[in-house]
Chain A
Amino acid sequence: MTVNGTARSADVEPRTLLVHHLRDELELTGTNVGCDTSSCGACTVHIDGRSVKSCTMLAVQAEGAAITTIEGLADTARANGSSTGDMDWHPMQEAFQQCHALQCGYCTPGMVMAATSLLGEKPDPTEAEVREGLEGNLCRCTGYHNIVKAVLSTTGGAS
């Protein structure tokens, strides 16, 4: 598999969840685990450009796939020329800070990955579409107000 642009190969137990492989073996701990029922979305990564909850997938199922985690998101933004601001982040990361869309930050990597994937599918969503689109990602701190605002701000649709 390719992870954040680097080819990685490993022998894994067939039952190893992708999220545990990313976290425990590849030491990419930005991707978090918040539940055990694929409900919370804290483990969301991109596989071949689309958001996937990495706890719903076995590592072996990702064989040959291109995986992007939060650690690699800014690099992809730099590669496509869309990084912004002093921090040279992906625009969504920048928007999350600007809009105070994170507090404890535990859901944040998954939320950012889900939000960028959502905009890939629907570049100009309404507020309702953002809310529906992020339904699979839970946050306990923000009440979602500033998360929705942040996502819309990257499309020029902030209210």
Chain B
Amino acid sequence: MNATTGGIGTAMLRKEDPKLLTGENKFVDDIHVNGELWMGMVRCTSAHAKIVSIDTSGAEAMPGVHSVYTGQQLADMELWAAPLPCAWPVTEDMLNPPHWPVAVDTARHVGEIVAVVLADSRYQAADAVEHVVVEYDYQPAVASIAAARDGDAKAHLELDTNKAYTWELVPDPDALAAAFENPAHHVSADFVQQRLIPAAMEPRGVLAVPSPMGGEITLYSATQVPHILKVMIAATTGLPEQKLRIIAPSVGGGFGAKLNVNPDELLAVTLANRLGRAVRWTETRSEAVGSTHQGRGQLQHIEIAADENGKIQGVRAHLDADMGAYMMLITPGVALLGSFLYTGVYDVPAFGFSCDGYFTNLTPTDAYRGAGRPEASYAIERAMDILAAKVGVGPDEIRRRNYINGGEFFEDHEAASTLIFDSGNYAPNLEKALELAKYEELKAEQARRREAGDGKQLGIGMCTYVEICGLAPSRALGGLNYGAGGWEHATVRMLPTGKVEVVSGSTPHGQGHETAWSQIIATKMGVSSDDVTVLHSDTALSPLGLDTYGSRSLAVGGVAISMAAEKLIEKAKLIAAHQFEASPDDLEFVDGSFSVKGTPAKSVHIQELGFAAFAAHDLPDGMEPNLQEQVSFDPPNFAFPFGTHVAVVEIDEVTGGVELVDYIAVDDCGTQVNPMIVEGQLHGGIVQGAAQALWEIAMYDDDGNPTNPSFMDYLVPSAAEVPYMKTDYTVTPSTSNPLGVKGAGEAGTIGSAAAVMNAVVDALSPYGVEDMDMPATPRRVWKAMQGGAS
């Protein structure tokens, strides 16, 4: 492909990098406008309290302070048309008490906003916050799932229960009951998915700028979801949607934590609109524990029924899930995203799942990298190791015995959960990973150390995950009561000079959309990727889109771009045929050039047709000028990436310290557009999952106070805690889209927590340890080695 550089499959260096490497790019906090006011949030310091009084006079008298508003005052100003939105009411009778941007009479978690200060500077706003005096009437707090389920205290005083909903998926109850009638092997296990702080390196931030003439408001937000935000801001504030413009400038990581509709975003927009001045806020890291949603937070119960050979007869799972204090955008649906994956990569004849969602007086939960699927993968993959031990075979063998289609290649397999898995080829993937890991050598080394009583015990753990991504077929989402669709939009236009503009509905926050989309265009249209510019993350430039989460950007958005390019090529072909005075059917399109079949000497490159379409002097009769095509792609099915991860840990017998010494991952995300980007996504995902296994937990005391809210004690791993990872791939194209792509953004996280914990438990098995809660801290591990409870 002589005219094509940087096409699909190339490890092309990223277009995004130069600005990021030199500090030229702009994150929200880098952007300033004249006359801007800084918001400072007065946040509740108790997990549950009635607001008796708020004295703002001291703050109002401080230098640089413009005004102070309490929740009651904002409500009286009629700034809100509706409470903060929940787009996923999972059941008809789900409880969803109103969640206002600023608490009016009761605050229900530490960090809930009770008043907002506006001041001329960052520092003045922070000072003034300290001088707002709030009198509270403290209420008993619900500080854990168990307390919500079993205790007397209520997270919402006006409700007589903490249970928000019960959701069930039992496709065939009789078959499920039969499977569990006297199984030869019965695994019954309970796992804790601790709360996690997503901790994108860029804190969230907003800047709302009113236009004095037209009444428009532009909101810059560190968000993953500018398009969704626009609709939701209109719905919750009553401001006309067409007057809102949302821009996500450079966004410093998201991991799900930036896909919400947050009080600060609504406050900035409505106050800027009311005051006619720009209003901004940048989250501090310690503030984030109460101002940005958290992830996970589930108690899991899983059972497997299997025959004497370990062949699975049925799987059933139940979750008690922590919603936190309120339902945010997709809070109640996170568990549902995982529900279909409690059968893993296995041929499971009978399946049942249920989830009870509970309110607590803790920070709301919502999507965090993987959103429901790492939890599911963890439960089934930990349970498979337990089953292997019961059957008396290795963890690799129990998996081989249970793979869908015996581990061989399949397409369009209907699972007991009713989902259709697009494609899989599991056994070769496992064998490749075991070979890369030198599994037999590792086992020999483990045996040697055990024999020798080595002070550093070796643990080997594996996880063979599958995940659902490419969210999502709109009809499927509708069937799950989700409030929107799952399509993605793309526009491709050829400019008069032959350069290409791509308008992307999906929005990047580190993934490299500008690079990958250019590669798709390069391959499809036969142009250099340097000739392609990608426009995104601004609702004025890209009015249609459903944004980025659920590993959907490529599998939905990238496919839309590919399809729009194909449409554009079809139109260009008509122009070329007109110029050649030939039938379009007689033309071929190779490396960006049209020629009449059999006479390649006479050809025209597609980039040369841009001007003809623009000038429109001599187009086929009835053809509209310009080369611009758009596609909204609604995928017919999800995509199901899979892979095998092997973790190797060393446990220090004296300290209980766990060191991750090696990590091997063989992933299958279908066709790869940029292998370099895929590998980077996996590296980061793997470390985030390993961090759940070994280090990270958002802790609260019995009164609901966060006890490790900063990076001093919330242990995001550094380079010193992790090893180089060994990655390889198998390629099984998806049947859900014409590019055959699946998704890679969440896969690392979905595979790694289970692999690492299986390794930890494996290392501790000589001590009789059968399970361990995450994170496997030195204290927990050491106690377990002494025979104490983990």
* Chain A residues proximal to chain B, CB less than 8 Å: 13, 15-16, 20, 23-24, 28-37, 39-40, 42, 69-71, 74, 87, 89, 93, 96-98, 100, 102-109, 112, 127, 130-132, 134-149, 159
Q: How far is the CA of A132 from the CA of B718 in the complex (A)?
A: 9
- Per-position contact with A for B237-281: 1 when CB-CB < 8 Å, else 0? 000000000000011110100000000000000000000000000
B26 touches A29 (CB 8 A): yes
When distances are taken between beta carbons in the complex, the residues of chain B under 8 Å from A32 are 27, 201-202, 252
* Chain B residues proximal to chain A, CB less than 8 Å: 13-14, 16-27, 29-30, 32, 122-123, 199-203, 250-253, 255, 282, 284-286, 509-512, 676-677, 679-681, 683-688, 710-712, 716, 718-720, 722, 724-725, 748
Query: If A23-B30, A33-B29, A35-B285 touch, does A145 touch B725 (CB 8 Å cutoff)?
Result: yes
Q: Who on chain B is nearest to A34 by CB?
A: B201
Q: How far is the CA of A132 from the CA of B123 in the complex (A)?
A: 34
Q: How far is the CA of A74 from the CA of B24 in the complex (A)?
A: 13
Q: Who on chain A is nearest to B509 by CB?
A: A104
Query: If A103-B684, A104-B252, A141-B680 touch, does A96 touch B17 (CB 8 Å cutoff)?
Result: yes
Please tell me which one of the listed residues B30, B684, B687, B711 contacts residue A29 in the complex, with CB atoms under 8 A apart. Answer: B30
B683 touches A146 (CB 8 A): yes
When distances are taken between beta carbons in the complex, the residues of chain A under 8 Å from B203 are 33-34
Q: How far is the CA of A102 from the CA of B202 in the complex (A)?
A: 14
Q: Who on chain A is nearest to B200 by CB?
A: A140
Q: Who on chain A is nearest to B677 by CB?
A: A100
When distances are taken between beta carbons in the complex, the residues of chain A under 8 Å from B30 are 23, 29
Query: If A15-B123, A137-B718, A144-B718 touch, does A37 touch B711 (CB 8 Å cutoff)?
Result: yes
Closest 8 CB pairs of A and B: A30-B23, A105-B20, A106-B252, A104-B510, A39-B711, A143-B687, A29-B30, A143-B683
When distances are taken between beta carbons in the complex, the residues of chain B under 8 Å from A37 are 285-286, 710-712
Please tell me which one of the listed residues B284, B512, B711, B719 contacts residue A147 in the complex, with CB atoms under 8 A apart. Answer: B719
Closest Cβ of chain B to A34, distance in Å, is 5
Q: Who on chain B is nearest to A41 by CB?
A: B718
Q: Who on chain A is nearest to B251 by CB?
A: A104
Can you offer 14 A-B residue contacts whose CB atoms are under 8 A? A24-B122, A29-B26, A69-B23, A100-B13, A102-B17, A104-B510, A105-B17, A105-B20, A132-B720, A137-B718, A140-B201, A141-B680, A144-B687, A144-B718
When distances are taken between beta carbons in the complex, the residues of chain B under 8 Å from A89 are 21-22
B20 touches A108 (CB 8 A): yes
Query: If A97-B14, A144-B722, A146-B683 touch, does A70 touch B716 (CB 8 Å cutoff)?
Result: no
Query: If A104-B509, A104-B510, A139-B201 touch, does A71 touch B27 (CB 8 Å cutoff)?
Result: no
Please tell me which one of the listed residues B21, B282, B685, B718 contacts residue A108 in the complex, with CB atoms under 8 A apart. Answer: B21
Q: Who on chain A is nearest to B686 by CB?
A: A143
Q: How far is the CA of A32 from the CA of B341 in the complex (A)?
A: 39
B684 touches A142 (CB 8 A): yes
Q: How far is the CA of A37 from the CA of B202 in the complex (A)?
A: 14
A30 touches B680 (CB 8 A): no
A103 touches B511 (CB 8 A): yes
When distances are taken between beta carbons in the complex, the residues of chain A under 8 Å from B712 are 37, 39
Q: How far is the CA of A135 from the CA of B710 in the complex (A)?
A: 17
B16 touches A105 (CB 8 A): yes
Q: How far is the CA of A140 from the CA of B687 in the complex (A)?
A: 8
Closest Cβ of chain B to A69, distance in Å, is 7
Q: Who on chain B is nearest to A99 by CB?
A: B676
Closest Cβ of chain B to A138, distance in Å, is 5
B21 touches A105 (CB 8 A): yes
Extra contacts, 19 of them, besides A97-B13, A100-B680, A141-B684 (Cβ < 8 A), are A20-B122, A35-B286, A35-B711, A100-B679, A103-B253, A103-B511, A104-B200, A104-B250, A105-B17, A130-B719, A132-B720, A134-B718, A134-B720, A137-B718, A140-B684, A140-B688, A143-B686, A143-B725, A144-B718
Q: Who on chain B is nearest to A101 by CB?
A: B680
When distances are taken between beta carbons in the complex, the residues of chain B under 8 Å from A108 are 20-21
A138 touches B711 (CB 8 A): yes
A134 touches B18 (CB 8 A): no
Q: How far is the CA of A78 from the CA of B222 in the complex (A)?
A: 34
Query: If A97-B18, A104-B509, A106-B252 touch, does A136 touch B718 (CB 8 Å cutoff)?
Result: yes
Query: If A34-B203, A37-B711, A40-B711 touch, does A140 touch B23 (CB 8 Å cutoff)?
Result: no
